[in-house]
């Protein structure tokens, strides 16, 4: 009775019957193996043994097949290469290591048909738990999967035509066009193009250069995440691409004797990197060279290869061009649109110079000719028209305080009550004294002593005068509001029971009607503000509201301040005051001073300064 197959074995056997090209097989292999090991992502590394040079590992596939995965695995590439390098060449087993906290790496050797090539499947897992380790039998099936399927990590010369064309040049061009249409970013599409061309044409390196201004800039090369344009090899490659675009023709080095193309830069680059065959294909848009593709390999390029590359370039240029235009930041796209519009309007030569001169001329005309509302900006303080000072009516003590600073009061409302206990005693004493003197006067009249009678009457009158003074103080003991208004100063609740002297200011009261804005106008602006000038004021507490004002008069005497001499300007508000207005509030006021050219407004202070210093 046969042993039933496990789920893992069934998935691996389905992988052996995979229908598709080798590049897609490696991605599918990673997907299946990542599921077997419970890995987050994987990458295939291949290397060729060379006695003269050290073994160099090169990635050929990743899973998930996305640009984000390539960037993430690129950060761990050195750790993965170190892991596969440390493995025993003859040991066929799964090697697992922790490369950092919470990140695990694994490597599994794969058997290929080539004797000189080595292939490793590497995996990454995130978390504290290790990879799931399958049994020894499943692990051996995974190692032999590429050999059973017959996949090759490198395209050999014998099957070059089979792997690169898949039937016809049109089929290759259509396949690449479909792959590019799936990409949303320019660099990702460029990488797909370079990688696919490298596989299909057995090229060691495929590079894409794009025209920028009058030069070519290297954008992508196969299996390279980043490009260092400062390296000598990058500059030589860009020069070779410029040579191709300048002649607007395919260049193959070494060329035939009948080929009239100049290939000096191609020869210089080929000898610098040690390549034997080099081909550059221009990518045109509207008959104008837009970019160039350069392929490097050891075998010569046939006529069919060049025809297939030419057809691929003609079919893929539109998608690459659109991605290059749209996959840029907003400023670059806007600048490109403005430049194209200006080029159509003014011609194709010196577009930026003409546009800059036109903009400068328009700006100068605008500055000197366009009338602009000139406004003088200064600060203001809200001042009351009248201020009532409420002093202490007599020497005494504060008994109670009915209001606080900021309270609104009405006319006749009690504000402060003075202590009248002592006055009441004085009043009773003086009243008794008056009665005594009256009695003495009556007694003197009865005894017929006129002198004593007149003296008693005079003392009674004197005492009555003192009594009237006491009664007056009693009537003034309650300090009432003289008008409707608001208490400006006088927080006396902490002074209840404390002595006060006669005439000491206890409170300040001001009516809300008739308040005006007191402006501090710099002396340099004095001649530009006159009586009747209109403006707008905004309070610090309500900056979103504007209140119209008109200048009433300017005080003739300047007041020295830290910033220079200031003129005091009185401005009245048009309309009734708001309920929340209080004396002492401040803000900003802008006074209209007519229309002036914008250049005069911007330079008036500098011109006045130079006139004072240079005296002209």
Give 188's contacts (C-beta < 8 A, 6+ positions apart).
Answer: 67
378 in a structural domain: no
In angstroms, the CA 592 to CA 578 distance is 23
In angstroms, the CA 434 to CA 37 distance is 121
C-alpha distances in angstroms, 305 versus 6, 165, 311, 364, 464?
46, 9, 10, 59, 135
216/145 same-domain check: no
pLDDT in tens, 77-113: 888 888 887 775 555 678 888 888 888 898 888 887 6
Give the pLDDT confidence score for residue 50 in this predicted structure. 57
Which residues form the domain of 36? 7-154
71/144 same-domain check: yes
In angstroms, the CA 64 to CA 62 distance is 6
pLDDT in tens, 274-287: 888 899 999 887 77
Whether pTM exceeds 0.75: no
Q: At what angle do helices 330-346 and 351-369 cross, to 10 degrees?
A: 90
Overall domain count for the chain: 5
| Confidence grade of residue 159 (pLDDT, cut at 50, 70, 90) | very low
11/30 same-domain check: yes
317/345 same-domain check: no
C-alpha distances in angstroms, 431 versus 119, 393, 427, 460?
127, 22, 6, 10
Indicate the pairing of strand 478-480 with strand 505-510. Answer: unpaired
C-alpha distances in angstroms, 458 versus 71, 340, 442, 450, 453?
116, 113, 13, 12, 9
Distant-in-sequence contacts of 89-94, Cβ < 8 A, 24+ apart: 89/118, 92/140, 92/143, 93/139, 94/37, 94/131, 94/133, 94/139
207/305 same-domain check: yes
In angstroms, the CA 204 to CA 275 distance is 9
**Chosen domain end from 455, 477, 508:** 508
357/276 same-domain check: no
150/184 same-domain check: no
**Residues 472-487: what's their mean pLDDT?**
84
381 in a structural domain: no
CATH number at residue 110: 3.30.450.80
Give the pLDDT confidence score for residue 448 in this predicted structure. 78
C-alpha distances in angstroms, 65 versus 26, 134, 172, 185, 364?
10, 24, 20, 15, 56
**Chosen domain end from 327, 345, 378:** 327
Give 311's contacts (C-beta < 8 A, 6+ positions apart).
Answer: 169, 170, 172, 173
In angstroms, the CA 234 to CA 228 distance is 7
φ, ψ of residue 535 in degrees (nearest 5)? -170, -175
383 in a structural domain: no
362/428 same-domain check: no
498/554 same-domain check: no
373 in a structural domain: no
226 in a structural domain: yes
272/410 same-domain check: no
**Residues 402-420: what's their mean pLDDT?**
84
Share of the chain above pLDDT 70, in %: 88
The answer to whether the CB of 131 falls within 8 A of the CB of 106 is yes
**Chosen domain end from 124, 154, 184:** 154
pLDDT in tens, 318-347: 888 888 888 777 776 677 777 767 666 666
Coil vs helix vs strand at 583 = coil
178/126 same-domain check: no
543/603 same-domain check: yes
Q: Of the ranges 6-20, 26-40, 270-284, 579-593, which one carries the lowest mean pLDDT score? A: 6-20
Q: Has residue 61 got a pLDDT over 90? A: no
257 in a structural domain: yes
380 in a structural domain: no
Token pair, residue 540, equals 């610090």
In angstroms, the CA 314 to CA 320 distance is 11
């Amino acid at each position: 009775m046969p042993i039933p197959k496990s789920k893992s074995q069934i998935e691996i056997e389905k992988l052996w019957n995979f229908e598709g090209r080798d590049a897609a097989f490696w991605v599918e292999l990673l997907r299946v193996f990542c599921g077997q090991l419970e890995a987050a992502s994987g990458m295939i590394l291949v290397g060729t043994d060379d006695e003269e040079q050290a073994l160099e590992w090169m990635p050929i596939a990743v899973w998930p097949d996305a640009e984000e995965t390539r960037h993430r695995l690129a950060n761990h590439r050195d750790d993965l290469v170190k892991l596969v390098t440390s493995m025993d060449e003859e040991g066929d087993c799964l090697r697992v290591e922790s490369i950092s906290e919470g990140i695990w790496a694994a490597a599994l050797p794969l058997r290929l048909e080539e004797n000189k090539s080595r292939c490793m499947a590497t995996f990454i897992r995130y978390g504290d738990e290790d990879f799931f380790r399958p049994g020894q039998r499943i692990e051996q099936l995974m190692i032999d999967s590429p050999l059973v399927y017959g996949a090759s990590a490198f395209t050999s010369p014998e099957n070059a035509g089979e792997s690169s064309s898949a039937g016809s040049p049109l089929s290759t061009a259509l396949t690449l066009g479909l792959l590019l249409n799936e990409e949303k970013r320019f660099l990702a599409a460029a990488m797909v193009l370079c990688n696919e061309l490298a596989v299909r044409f057995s090229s060691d390196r495929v590079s894409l250069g794009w025209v920028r201004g009058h030069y070519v800039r290297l954008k992508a090369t196969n299996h390279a995440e980043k490009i260092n344009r400062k390296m000598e090899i990058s500059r030589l490659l860009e020069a070779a691409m410029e040579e191709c675009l300048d002649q607007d023709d395919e260049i193959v080095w070494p060329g035939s004797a009948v080929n009239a193309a100049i290939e000096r830069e191609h020869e210089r680059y080929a000898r610098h990197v040690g390549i034997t065959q080099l081909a550059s294909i221009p990518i045109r848009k509207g008959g104008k060279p837009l970019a160039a593709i350069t392929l490097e390999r050891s075998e010569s390029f046939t006529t069919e290869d060049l025809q297939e590359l030419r057809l691929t370039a003609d079919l893929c240029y539109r998608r690459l061009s659109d991605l290059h235009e749209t996959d840029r930041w907003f400023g670059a796209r806007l600048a490109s649109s403005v430049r194209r519009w200006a080029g159509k309007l003014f011609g194709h030569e010196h577009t930026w110079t003409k546009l800059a001169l036109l903009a400068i001329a328009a700006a100068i005309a605008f500055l000197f000719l366009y009338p602009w509302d000139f406004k003088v900006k200064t600060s203001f303080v809200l001042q009351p028209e009248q201020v009532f000072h409420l002093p202490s009516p007599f020497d005494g003590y504060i008994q109670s305080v009915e209001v606080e600073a900021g309270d609104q009061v009405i006319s006749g409302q009690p504000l402060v009550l003075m202590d009248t206990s002592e006055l009441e005693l004085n009043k009773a004493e003086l009243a008794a004294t008056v009665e005594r003197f009256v009695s003495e006067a009556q007694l003197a009249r009865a005894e017929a002593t006129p002198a004593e009678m007149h003296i008693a009457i005079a003392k009674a009158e004197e005492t009555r005068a003192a009594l009237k003074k006491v009664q007056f103080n009693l009537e003034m003991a309650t300090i009432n509001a003289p008008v409707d208004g608001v208490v400006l100063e006088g927080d006396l609740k902490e002074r209840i029971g404390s002595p006060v002297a006669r005439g000491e200011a206890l409170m300040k009261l001001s009516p809300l009607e008739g308040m005006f804005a007191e402006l501090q106008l710099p002396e340099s602006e004095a001649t530009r503000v006159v009586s009747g000038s209109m403006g707008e004021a905004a309070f610090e507490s309500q900056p979103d509201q504007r209140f119209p004002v008109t200048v009433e008069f300017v005080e003739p005497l300047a007041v020295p301040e830290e910033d220079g001499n200031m003129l005091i300007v009185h401005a009245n508000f048009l309309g009734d005051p708001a309920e929340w207005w209080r004396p002492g509030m401040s803000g900003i006021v802008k006074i209209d001073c007519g229309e002036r050219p914008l250049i005069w407004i911007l330079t008036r202070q500098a011109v006045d300064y130079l006139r004072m210093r240079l005296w002209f």
